[in-house]
Amino acid sequence: MSAEQVLFWVFAVATVVAAGGVILARNPIACAMSLVATFFFLAGIYVLLWAHTIAAVQVLVYAGAIMVLFLFVLMLMSLSDQGPVMTFSAWRIAGVVAVVTVLAALVLVFRRLPAQESLAWSGDAARLGDFGTIKHLGAVMYTQWLFPFEAVSLLLLVAIVGAVVVAKARV
C-alpha cells in the first residue's frame, strides 16, 4: 500500500466512526463534537483528492463556524444525557426502509462506475498543474460558475434578512 492509501483508510475509517458517533452518542454535545471530528477527517479525504483549498474551507466554515453555533445553542438548551427512548412507529419503519433503499442504490451505482484511468491522479503532480490551488478555485468560481455562486450568496442574504425579521419581533 502506498502512503496515500494508508492515509485514505485512516481518514475513511475515522470519518465513518465519527459519523456513527453523531447518531449513536446519547449526549447531544458529544454528538456535535463527533460531527466536528467527521468534518475534520472529511477534510483529510479532500486533501487526498488534491482539493487542499476545499479542505481548508471545510474546516474553516463547517468545523470552525457552523458547528460552534450548534454547540452554542446546545449548551444553552441544557439537554440531559438521556435521549428519547427508541420507539417503533409506522413512520420510523418507513424511514429505515427508505434509508436502506438509498444506500443499496448508491452501492449499486458506485460498483458499476467504470474504473477510469483519467481519474487516477494520485502522484501525478505534473498533470494536475494548479488544480485544487486557491488560484484555480478562484478562477473557476468567478468565471465558469459565477451565476451559481452569486445565486447562493443571494440565498444567504435572504436567510439573513429572514433571521433578522424573525428575531426583531421579540427584541
Partner 1 sequence: MRIGMIFISISLIVGALFTLMGASYALAGWLESLELFAGAGHLGAILVQMLVMVMVTATLLTLAERKWSALMQDRVGPNRARLPIPGLKDNPLAGLPHIATDVLKMLTKEAFRPKAASKFLFNLGPILAFAPVFALFAIVPAGPTVEVMGKQVMMVAANPDFGLLFLFAIASLAVYGTSLAGWASNNKFGLLGGVRASSQMVSYEVALGLSLVGMMLAFSTVKLAGPTGMTALQAPYLWSFNLLGLDVGIPRWGIFLQPLGFLLFFAAAFAETKRAPFDTPEGESEIVGYFIEYSGMQFGMFMISEFVEVVVLSGVLAAIFFGGYYLPFGNEALMGLPVMKAHPWLLGATLGTVFWLKVILLCYLQLAIRWTFPRFRYDQIQTLGWKILLPLGLANLFISGALVLWDPSLHSLALFGFVVLGVIVFLTLTPSRQVRLAKQAEEVHGGHGHGDDHSLPANTH
Q: Which residues bind partner 1 (CB under 8 A)?
A: 27, 29-30, 33, 36, 52-53, 56-57, 59-60, 63-65, 68-69, 71-72, 75-76, 133-135
C-alpha separations of 34 from 22, 43, 89, 167 in Å: 5, 14, 28, 30
| Shortest CB 29 distance to partner 1, Å | 6
- CA dist 65 and 137 (Å) reads 21
| Shortest CB 130 distance to partner 1, Å | 9
Q: Which is nearer to partner 1, 92 or 121 (CB)?
A: 121
Q: Which is nearer to partner 1, 80 or 87 (CB)?
A: 80
| Shortest CB 52 distance to partner 1, Å | 6
Q: Burial code of 148-157, b = ≥16 C-beta within 10 A, e = fewer?
A: eeeeeeeeee
Q: Which is nearer to partner 1, 76 or 167 (CB)?
A: 76
Q: Which is nearer to partner 1, 80 or 89 (CB)?
A: 80
Residues in the chain, overall count: 171
User: Do residues 10 and 2 make contact, with C-beta atoms less than 8 angstroms apart?
Assistant: no
